[in-house]
Structure 1
Amino acid sequence: LYSFQNKVMEEAGKKDKALEIKLATRIKRNANTLKNYQGKLKGLSSLQLVAQKKQEDAALAQFINSNVALKQKYGSLMLDIDKLYNQVYSDAYQDMWLGQIYASTSLMNIARQINNFKRTMAAQPAASRLVFYTDNIGKLEQSLKNLYNSYDLNVDKTILKRMVSYASAFPQNQRIKAVDEQLSKGFDKKEQVNNFVESRVQYTKLKDQDYTLNKLLKSQKTFNEYNDPLLNFEKEISDEAAQLKEEKDRRNGLLNKLMGDYVAVKEKFLKKDFIPDANSTLRLTYGYVRGYSPADALYMKPFTSIKGIIEKGSTGNPEYAYPPQIKDLWLAKDFGIFAKKDINDVPVGLLYDMDTTGGNSGSPIMDANGELIGVNFDRAYGATINDYAWNPDYSRSIGVDIRFVLWAASKIDKADFLLKEMGI
């Protein structure tokens, strides 16, 4: 799905530079998500992590059954967890589709924003609805503007057709009712999907940003009176998603209790306490700057340099384009005080074995003396599996070396006054 979307957006951008810029954020977000999942899947396979976890769970089950008291308390635990996850898998396609439809197509997201606003306003006392509209319409307008900033009609139609086509091929027990009820009879599937999407887009005025922002939102009356087939389709999807959410909330409630028991008995089994999940908290993590070997006969040094920027830039890949001043300065060996002596170059990236995860991007990296040495960027591709298993042999995070940041500020941006303010 992500690869298809990016291919569609990249092809559209080749024909229109302004559109290329408009879609750039969506493309990079998709690429980042895709690479994250690909890295996880590769790690699961190469580490044989599923088989390892199954062995661990089998040993845990044996431990539970070997003790009368534990068996009485946790005897059905592993089976209960399996049953619950089988329920999760039973609507996995449906859940994934309902979660992706809005992220994939701007028009569907725009329709959702409008329907949600209408729904919330209708829930207010009749006498308060105008006040609610007046107080909140500005927020809706800004939200819609943000969506239109990365919207293109043809891209949206192509991706929506693919999404509807996916839904029409799901197993019978995971069908999207809103799709099944709308597709016409008497056509082959491709023609059904094409006719359905084209008709929904043809009759919606939401595809016109000027109409939506300047006419639809003009007053409570114009807002309330507007409706179209796309809005109705979104309502059906939203209702279906709400029903699934109720079931997911029920499962999560049960799973939270089961996983609490799972952790408790596993601590007994391993005879040690576990560190609590640090997500959504203020986190401090520590480690060492070090390279690693992600594959046989391959060693990644802990530092990259400006030389590497130039080497990648020479491949012609637009992702590696760089300002020409960088090469001029590098050829002149104009590194100032920012060179790393053992490589006779300015360090650009650095690897370290700290376990960073979502939310750490942009965090400062400090040495043992509390001095800023870099800024965290992301995990290495092979370390995306850290969500499931961390190991010092392959778990690495990537940061930008602060010496490169300061060098670029001084030599490229001519911002020595900033360095002077910082006492550098």
Structure 2
Amino acid sequence: GGCSGSFVSSEGLLVTNHHCAFDAVAAVSTAEENHLERGFYARKMSDEIPAKGLSLRITVGFEDCSERILADLPGTDRPVERQKAIKERMTSLEKTAAAKDSNSTFEVSEMFPGKSYVLFQYTVLRDLRIVYAPSRAIGEFGGESDNWVWPRHTGDYTFLRAYTGPKGEARTYHTENIPFKPIAYLPIAQKPLAENDFVMIMGYPGRTFRHYPASYLRYQAEKLLPITQKNFDWLIQRLEKQGELSTGESLLWSSRIKSLANTSKNYRGKLQGLRRVPILAQFESVDKACRQAGQANALIAMNALDSLYQAMHQRAELHLNFQHLAGQSKAMQCMIREADLKDRLIAWKNNPSKDSLLEAETKALNVWKEKNRGSWRGSLERDVLQYFVSQNPELLPQDFQLGKWNAWLDQMEQSNDFPKESKWTKALGNYWHNLSLRIKQEQSDWTARLSANLPAYLDLRLQVLNQSFVPDANSTLRLTYGKVQGFFPEDGVYHRPFTTLNGMFEKASTGHPDYRIDSTLYRAIRQGFPAVTPTPEQPNQEQRFGDLAINMVDAARDQTQTVKKPRTKSEDIPVAFLYNLDTTGGNSGSPVMNADGELVGVNFDRAFGATINDFAWNADYSRSIGVDIRFVLWNLKNVIGDQRLLSELFPLGLPEHLQR
């Protein structure tokens, strides 16, 4: 979830990023069949395997519904009531639309908070299957060393296929399902890309914050970004330690580590960008002009927004540490759920259906425990709880006895199941549950105040800047366009907009573990490079596809062996490219198209300096990164020896310039 993709055939074949399908591939991987590490390719359609946890949402229509949402609302001096009315109307519109068309899903999206709303119509497909995911050495080449970095040599692509029922109806996995028939699909470009070529992207960018007051940006820079980065870095280190215990543990935590690492490095880039580019000063300048030009009602709104962000600033450490702890600790999640169930039981005291309600909720709690029991690790729980409480003592009641707390942590370290309920754990669970409710209420109040006051600020901002602007990203379909373009990341350094396989070998020769080469790719480019001697870690080196490959560390260490330059001109094989398009999180997997609407690549990342895109696009630093479709096709032809997908993508035959 949270990614984009595009159809590339009439048979429901779609391409997205390797990292977008990462969790789904990990879910079907085992120590014996490690598709995550070795890759997966279905030789025939019946071999395609379910992409667990993934669904596909296709935009089929939309209409502005702002008037219906905003008519006769409570005044801005009653923000909570106003926001409640907005939410109720949004839900009502969605239900009314769904009642008229049960085959579609409807969602009202807030384009400008408290100001503009659009009703979107979607087709949702829930049977997605993995067709081809490259080995991790291709799909994640460079690892965290290269994440958010250029130059890049990552084959970050995966092919999936969408399926429906025999009559085209959306339904979950079934052996009788057939490939989805899209209304249209993207043809593959047959003309090579060049620097300064026009390119465009359509996708579903997640969130940006470009039309907010300077006080919000200050909250991000001083609280949200640094606290989150620090906590996530600690969690990554601890989970990596857990993953070192076995292959099974590594698979269990790999997706979580990848997600945390991606966010951490993104936030580090944002902080660097905010220091390098005067974005905060620009926001402050706009706010100053707004205050000078504003009428009384607009100034009241600006003061209310400043007060709101001051409150967020003051409560940030508690809110963020609680959220990060609750996101990781199974013990906390379980104890909050148990406390919540007891609260519900009290509320149901006079409800004639209380017994059946209790039975259903108890069953749901037990199902949750069973689902999460497999990932319970007592020593990990102990370390996580201890770390976050050390970051913010408010996570424990003021009168809590630290001796009992530490003894409980020591006991948990040896446990292999959720904490047993006791008077002491009930008290702690109640505290955490009430704290959770307080935090949710505060955040709900903040959202209401934002929705009530932001419209007046936006109107004033429009007046002062004397220009229109598009709504912030909110996971709805957007278009961005620009050109293939390099950039100067620092004084005297220019980054060209294309990389090739030659650079992959250059990185591999450093011996860094993030730069291992897939052995099948290596043999393909060397045109008959002899198979490597099998090892316990790589028992089947002769396998045409899927081994972990030649580790260039060993080659570099061996004084009698050097990494031979491939016979094929690796500098002729493009891997990735840069462009100055305006992207953010959620654009991962977006199709990069040329002026003719043909697929030239798949968007997967931004350069480190472009992480500031969430706050402002910058002509000097805003560069996005895509995998070149020519590299994808080269892998299909030469690494896995594919004909099935190539025939599906090119029914008339492979273009000459791709036949290398």
Rounded Cα–Cα distance in structure 2 between residues aligned with 1:363 and 1:132: 45
| 1:155 corresponds to | 380
Quick one: which amino acid aligns to residue 267 of structure 1?
L
Out of 429, 436, 439, the residue aligned to residue 234 of structure 1 is 429
From the superposition, tell whether residues 158 and 96 of structure 1 become closer, same or farther in structure 2 (CA, over 3 Å). Answer: same
Give the C-alpha shift of residue 324 in structure 1: 1.2
From the superposition, tell whether residues 115 and 375 of structure 1 become closer, same or farther in structure 2 (CA, over 3 Å). Answer: farther
Rounded Cα–Cα distance in structure 2 between residues aligned with 1:14 and 1:356: 35
| 1:260 corresponds to | 455
Rounded Cα–Cα distance in structure 2 between residues aligned with 1:302 and 1:131: 60
From the superposition, tell whether residues 80 and 122 of structure 1 become closer, same or farther in structure 2 (CA, over 3 Å). Answer: closer
Give the C-alpha shift of residue 93 in structure 1: 0.9
Out of 299, 311, 314, the residue aligned to residue 75 of structure 1 is 299
Considering fraction of residues, name the structure with more strand.
Answer: 2
Give the C-alpha shift of residue 150 in structure 1: 4.6
1:144-174 Cα offsets, whole Å, 9 max, x none, are: 5664555432222212110111122xxxxxx
| 2:315 corresponds to | 91
SS class of match (1:373): strand
Q: Tell whether the 8 Å contact from 1:121 to 1:133 is kept in structure 2 after alignment.
A: no
1:180 equivalent in alignment to 2:398: yes
1:250-270 Cα offsets, whole Å, 9 max, x none, are: 222112222211110111112
| 2:239 corresponds to | 9
Give the C-alpha shift of residue 204 in structure 1: 8.4
For 1:211-226, list aligned pairs within 5 A.
Answer: none
From the superposition, tell whether residues 272 and 414 of structure 1 become closer, same or farther in structure 2 (CA, over 3 Å). Answer: same
Q: What TM-score do the two structures reach when normalised by structure 2?
A: 0.53
| 1:197 corresponds to | 409
1:299 equivalent in alignment to 2:494: yes
Rounded Cα–Cα distance in structure 1 between residues aligned with 2:598 and 2:423: 59
What do you get for the CA RMSD once the two structures are aligned? 3.2
| 2:285 corresponds to | 55
Quick one: which amino acid aligns to residue 102 of structure 1?
A
1:289-315 Cα offsets, whole Å, 9 max, x none, are: 211112122222211222222222333
Quick one: which amino acid aligns to residue 88 of structure 1?
M
Give the C-alpha shift of residue 74 in structure 1: 2.4
Quick one: which amino acid aligns to residue 321 of structure 1?
R
Quick one: which amino acid aligns to residue 375 of structure 1?
V
Quick one: which amino acid aligns to residue 379 of structure 1?
R
From the superposition, tell whether residues 227 and 305 of structure 1 become closer, same or farther in structure 2 (CA, over 3 Å). Answer: farther
SS class of match (1:21): helix
Q: What TM-score do the two structures reach when normalised by structure 1?
A: 0.79
Out of 105, 116, 127, the residue aligned to residue 329 of structure 2 is 105
| 1:413 corresponds to | 640
Out of 606, 611, 614, the residue aligned to residue 379 of structure 1 is 606
Deviates more, 1:156-165 or 1:46-55: 46-55
Deviates more, 1:9-18 or 1:158-167: 9-18
Rounded Cα–Cα distance in structure 1 between residues aligned with 2:442 and 2:272: 31
Quick one: which amino acid aligns to residue 496 of structure 2?
K
Unaligned runs of 5+ in 1: 65-69, 169-174, 209-225, 335-340
Out of 318, 336, 345, the residue aligned to residue 572 of structure 2 is 345
Rounded Cα–Cα distance in structure 1 between residues aligned with 2:445 and 2:424: 32
For 1:326-365, list aligned pairs within 5 A.
Answer: 326-332=521-527, 344-365=571-592
Rounded Cα–Cα distance in structure 1 between residues aligned with 2:574 and 2:466: 44
Quick one: which amino acid aligns to residue 357 of structure 1?
T
Out of 349, 353, 356, the residue aligned to residue 127 of structure 1 is 353
Q: Tell whether the 8 Å contact from 1:290 to 1:301 is kept in structure 2 after alignment.
A: yes
1:219-238 Cα offsets, whole Å, 9 max, x none, are: xxxxxxx6675565333212
1:375-415 Cα offsets, whole Å, 9 max, x none, are: 11122221111111111211111111111112212222222
1:311-367 Cα offsets, whole Å, 9 max, x none, are: 223333333323112223233499xxxxxx998422111111111122211122221
1:81-111 Cα offsets, whole Å, 9 max, x none, are: 2222211112111111221112232333344
SS class of match (1:287): strand
From the superposition, tell whether residues 228 and 32 of structure 1 become closer, same or farther in structure 2 (CA, over 3 Å). Answer: farther
Q: Tell whether the 8 Å contact from 2:269 to 2:612 is kept in structure 1 after alignment.
A: yes
Q: Tell whether the 8 Å contact from 1:383 to 1:397 is kept in structure 2 after alignment.
A: yes
Rounded Cα–Cα distance in structure 2 between residues aligned with 1:310 and 1:110: 48
Q: Tell whether the 8 Å contact from 2:336 to 2:432 is kept in structure 1 after alignment.
A: no
Rounded Cα–Cα distance in structure 2 between residues aligned with 1:132 and 1:413: 54
Q: Tell whether the 8 Å contact from 2:501 to 2:570 is kept in structure 1 after alignment.
A: no
From the superposition, tell whether residues 326 and 343 of structure 1 become closer, same or farther in structure 2 (CA, over 3 Å). Answer: closer
For 1:22-33, list aligned pairs within 5 A.
Answer: 22-33=252-263
Considering fraction of residues, name the structure with more helix.
Answer: 1
Quick one: which amino acid aligns to residue 13 of structure 1?
G
Rounded Cα–Cα distance in structure 1 between residues aligned with 2:254 and 2:589: 20
Q: Tell whether the 8 Å contact from 1:288 to 1:353 is kept in structure 2 after alignment.
A: yes
From the superposition, tell whether residues 204 and 24 of structure 1 become closer, same or farther in structure 2 (CA, over 3 Å). Answer: closer
Give the C-alpha shift of residue 128 in structure 1: 6.2
Quick one: which amino acid aligns to residue 195 of structure 1?
A
State percent identity of aligned pairs: 32
| 1:67 corresponds to | none
Quick one: which amino acid aligns to residue 18 of structure 1?
G
